[in-house]
């Protein structure tokens, strides 16, 4: 993976906005760092769009959508978006209709119980109470699962017809056609009236794990923060560039590279 320093200045100069993962990309040890928060603010102050897109639940994301200098947060791997309206109220947007969400939610709870029953050591993520459209098994946040157990959880989810992805901390499963890329396209269209695919060369994606592979593949200006190297052997499409710093420090590097070219 080439270093971020090899990213051409001309390409950085044309950037319109940044999509970014949250866990272990903006955050370090579970919290956003001062440099990463300042980087978000610097990008917004320069007139760029900034949209975190995460596997975290919508309930968990609400305080950050309120407090961070961002256009929106897209949660649950593209299923739900939170937008702060004038006056501070959060508006919630969904990709799935209410009846579909209700039916899927009941089915997912049965799968979640089956995973905990059948896969030794598997435990639902502690943020599960805030989830509306997916389920999550903790593998590296508060519980440690070896790779073979992670593989078992993924296989079980897929045997139930679910989509399954592995982030730096959780294994997420859901039914539906949404994913991070479709969520990015959807929020660009909904919020900005923009065709993301037509503008893809002017957007950046920043991530850190295997559930970012689709984004790395589609965004020509994709960046992995340095801790992405943990997953290097599992990346079918690595990012175009990689930072020197890990986690929030790496994201701050990306922001500086963009702002220095403007």
Instruction: Decide if 1 is inside a domain.
Output: no
Each residue's pLDDT, cut to its tens digit, for the chain (262 residues) gives 999 999 999 999 999 999 999 999 999 999 999 999 999 999 999 999 999 999 999 999 999 999 999 999 999 999 999 999 888 899 999 999 999 999 999 999 999 999 999 999 999 999 999 999 999 999 999 999 999 999 999 999 999 999 999 999 999 999 999 999 999 999 999 999 999 999 999 999 999 999 999 999 999 999 999 999 999 999 999 999 999 999 999 999 999 999 999 9
- Is the distance from CB of 70 to CB of 38 less than 8 angstroms? no
The CATH number of whichever domain residue 78 belongs to comes to: 3.40.50.1000
What is the rounded CA–CA span in Å between residue 137 and residue 130?
14
- Which pair of tokens denotes residue 200? 């893809």
- Per-residue pLDDT, 87: 83
Instruction: Decide if 7 is inside a domain.
Output: no
Strands 203-207 and 17-20: parallel
Question: Which residues lie across from 92 on neighbouring strands?
Answer: 82
Strands 203-207 and 170-174: unpaired
Q: How far is CA 180 from CA 169, 185, 187, in A?
A: 16, 9, 10
Domain boundary among 157, 174, 191: 174
Q: Are residues 204 and 221 in the same domain?
A: yes
Cα–Cα–Cα angle for 44, 11, 7, rounded to 5 degrees: 100
Tokens 């993976």 belong to which residue?
1
Phi (first) and psi of residue 230, to 5 degrees: -55, -30
Give the Cβ contact number of residue 91 at 10 Å. Answer: 11
- Per-residue pLDDT, 176: 94
- Per-residue pLDDT, 146: 97
Q: Are residues 69 and 189 in the same domain?
A: yes
What is the rounded CA–CA span in Å between residue 185 and residue 139?
29
Strands 80-84 and 90-94: antiparallel
- Per-residue pLDDT, 243: 98
- Per-residue pLDDT, 88: 82
Strands 203-207 and 221-224: parallel
Q: Are residues 106 and 58 in the same domain?
A: no
Q: Are residues 157 and 102 in the same domain?
A: yes
> What pTM, to 2 d.p., does this model score?
0.94
Classify residue 76 as left (phi > 0), alpha (psi -120 to 50) or beta. left
Residues whose CB is less than 8 angstroms from the CB of residue 121 and which lie 6 or more positions away in sequence, other chains included: 143, 145, 149
Q: Are residues 199 and 156 in the same domain?
A: no
Domain span at residue 19 reads 13-95+178-260
């Amino acid at each position: 993976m080439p270093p971020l320093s090899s990213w051409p200045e001309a390409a950085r100069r044309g950037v319109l906005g940044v999509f970014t993962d949250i866990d272990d990309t903006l955050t370090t040890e579970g919290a956003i760092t001062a440099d990463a928060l300042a980087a978000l603010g610097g990008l917004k102050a320069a007139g760029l769009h900034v949209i975190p897109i995460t596997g975290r639940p919508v309930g968990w994301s609400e305080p950050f959508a309120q407090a961070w200098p961002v256009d929106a947060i897209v949660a649950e791997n593209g299923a739900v978006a939170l937008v702060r309206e004038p006056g501070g109220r959060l508006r919630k947007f969904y990709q799935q209709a209410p009846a579909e969400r209700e039916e899927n939610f009941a089915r997912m709870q049965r799968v979640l119980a089956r995973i905990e029953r059948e896969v030794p050591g598997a435990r639902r993520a502690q943020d599960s109470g805030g989830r509306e459209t997916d389920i999550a098994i903790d593998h590296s946040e508060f519980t440690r699962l070896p790779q073979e157990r992670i593989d078992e959880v993924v296989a079980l989810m897929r045997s139930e017809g679910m989509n399954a992805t592995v982030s730096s901390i959780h294994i997420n499963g859901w039914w539906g056609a949404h994913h991070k890329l479709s969520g990015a396209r959807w929020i660009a269209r909904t919020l900005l009236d923009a065709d993301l695919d037509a503008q893809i060369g002017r957007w950046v994606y920043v991530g850190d794990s295997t559930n970012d592979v689709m984004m790395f593949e589609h965004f020509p200006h994709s960046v992995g923060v340095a801790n992405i190297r943990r997953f290097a052997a599992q990346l079918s499409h690595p990012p175009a560039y990689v930072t020197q710093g890990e986690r929030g420090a790496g994201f701050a590097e990306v922001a500086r590279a963009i702002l220095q070219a403007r």
